[in-house]
Structure 1
Amino acid sequence: MNAPAPSVRPATADDIEELLDLRVSVLAGGEVTDAWRQTFGQDLRERLGADPDLFVFVAPDPEAEGRLLACAIGMAYRGYRGPEYPAGRWARVMTVATRPHARRRGYGRAVMRALVDALRAADCSSIELRATAEGEALYRTLGFTRIPSGSYMVLRPSPDAPTAAGMRP
């Protein structure tokens, strides 16, 4: 007998503390400070339900009121129109997290399916994510494909980073 499909719903303000805990679980050893928790929590409080480009889906624990087993968070962006972006919209999956005891039971798939469906409904013609080794097989079954990653770079604020003119501040 198959287990029933996990229940998924959009996140609400009541989910913020659980979302913080789930988000921390995917930081892969990154430092989690009180300031980080406060900043992320405040951002969610301000934007959840108000920002039309923020998409957050959760899978509640059917056995524990208020507890979440999984979440998927994504952002939609507007770029320019082109052959791969006919509406000029694309998206990035920011977080997918499933509690360890709930893994391999369909919760991650359920929240990701809801997120992908919502992003597609928002006219996002391309959805990107950075896959962990544990999540890659799931993402492939949802239609994601690997792209050459040798050119993926990031620029983040740093006191040692060169300025745009190549000079340090």
Structure 2
Amino acid sequence: MTDTPSPGTPSPGTFDSALVRPARPEDAEELLRLRAELHSGLATPEPWHAAFPAAMRERLGTDPGLHAFVSDTGEGRLAACAIGLVYRAYEGPLYTGGLWGRVHSVITDPAHRRRGHAEAVTRALVTALQGAGCASVELNATDDGLPLYEKLGFTPAAHYLTLRRPLDGGAA
């Protein structure tokens, strides 16, 4: 006799997308754990380890510009998360309505990778950002994440640069 999953039961190696939900303040420590995974190998300032979960507890569910979705294992741990923000720009051809969204983080716990968690939380996040009026949604992709984002319809933007230190001096 073989084990046949009942209808609606995920097959081994996949997950139930119904476990994707908006992040809640009580998820703050798990969000920190996942964010730390993203930054593993990088020097992260110690105050960040207290400031990030405090900000999440304060803002999740109350800040209309912060959107976060998680894939819950149902066992007290998160399998994945996607966090993004709505920004107000100015009315323009790329920002009709003046709003744009930014995906800040998509992280999957290593034990839960390649099962669809990142796609599910990213879809939920992008849907929420677009529902909030964002005409454009942007993100920085890692090599690992690029195929997923391309599958979802993201395309490269030419000439995107970033500055993460004080502006060099010089005559203006």
Q: TM-score range by the shorter chain?
A: 0.7 to 0.9
Indicate which of 159, 162, 168 corresponds to 1:153. Answer: 162
Identity %: 47
C-alpha contact 2:70 2:121 (8 A) present in aligned 1? yes
- Structure 1's consecutive aligned runs of 4 or more residues displaced over 4 angstroms after TM superposition are none
Structure 2 stretches of 5 or more lacking a match?
none
TM-score (norm 2): 0.85
Distance 1:32 1:113 in 2: 28
Query: Which residue of structure 2 aligns with residue 80 of structure 1?
Result: 90
- Distance change (3 Å), C-alpha of 1:91 and 1:100: same
Q: Structure 1 residues 67 and 155, CA, compared in 2 at 3 Å: closer, same or farther?
A: closer
Structure 1: tracts of 5 or more residues without a match: none
Q: Report if aligned partners of 1:5, 1:106 keep a CA contact under 8 Å in 2.
A: no
Report the residue type matching 1:107 in the other structure: H
For this pair of structures, how many residues does the alignment match?
Answer: 159
- AA at the equivalent of 2:22: P
Q: CA contact under 8 A between 2:99 and 2:135: conserved in structure 1?
A: yes
1:27 is displaced (CA, Å) by 1.2
**1:29 is aligned to 2:41:** yes
CA RMSD of aligned residues (A): 1.8
User: TM-score, normalized by length of structure 1?
Assistant: 0.86
Q: Deviation digits for residues 72-117 of structure 1, max 9, x if unmatched?
A: 0000001111111111100111110001121110100000000000
Residue type of the partner of 2:51? T
* SS of equivalent to 1:84: coil
1:162 Cα deviation after fit: 4.4
Contact 2:31 2:81 in 1 (8 A): yes
Q: Which residue of 1 aligns with 2:120?
A: 110
Counterpart residue type for residue 152 of structure 1: L
